Structure 1
């Protein structure tokens, strides 16, 4: 009986530590209280980069990312035309962008990146959007995306 309980506890521990999401091995999410100093600096950078993109919706001035801030893929996709298209849609549907609220950091074990989830706050109360900024080991944004808000990471 003891062995069965120990095995069950061990399996539960292993099952809670990591999970697969869309074929990627994802670690346990970390909220604002548990984040360490290195991740705190990376979180602040992710916040600034994400806020810069969404603030474009308010003032129509986008400062392009530099090589030290983002990967070539992100720089290529974040053209003023692409961001303007997104902003027009968001401004009509959600109103003016206010701020980002940090929710959690999810480590991606597959490619050694950290996914920072922010809740995007807009003028209209019905706005329920999430901004995800993926930061790589070089402290560069390797992906920036918006999704409909869900409490559970998917």
Structure 2
């Protein structure tokens, strides 16, 4: 009998508690709702970085295009080392295709995710370009996408 009363009290406690509505900190948004400047900046700088792997020439980012942290990290030595590994596995860079755009409300940043098309189709890679509220690239990275098991 005591167990039933305890179970009933516990059930009433659970039912009476109301949960707060938590607003998401990020949202996937449609490409048409993003400023053209942000879209062009993300595409141009991402393409420029990946094309430098084909040509072995890298035009450094300017302070109008990227944040100081990105400019410091995008050195010729780091890029050439990364390109050498990627070219060996994936071959020549062809093109990028926009997958989605994520908007972070708290930081007012947009993350553009692109599928990278390479000469060799064995390994899939993805490019992420983060654009801040000042329309500058605040982060840029590439990663390999693991194949999904069958």
| TM-based fold match above 0.5 | yes
Matched, 1:36 2:33: yes
Asked if the contact 2:90/2:122 (under 8 Å) is kept, the reply is: yes
Residues 113-134 of structure 1: per-residue CA shift (max 9 Å, x gap): 0000011110011131110000
Normalised by the length of structure 2, the TM-score is 0.79
Residue of structure 2 equivalent to 1:91:
87
Q: How many residue pairs were aligned?
A: 128
Asked if the contact 1:119/1:149 (under 8 Å) is kept, the reply is: no
| CA RMSD in angstroms, aligned pairs only | 2.0
Match for residue 140 of structure 2 among 137, 144, 148? 144
Residues 84-130 of structure 1: per-residue CA shift (max 9 Å, x gap): 01100000000000011011110012211000001111001113111
Matches within 5 A, 1:2-151: 18=24, 25-27=25-27, 29-32=28-31, 35-36=32-33, 38=35, 40-149=36-145
Q: Which structure has the larger Rg?
A: 2
- Residues in 2 aligned to 1:66 and 1:140: alpha-carbon distance in whole angstroms: 10
Q: Per-residue deviation at 1:148?
A: 2.3
Structure 1 stretches of at least 4 aligned residues deviating more than 3 Å after TM superposition: none
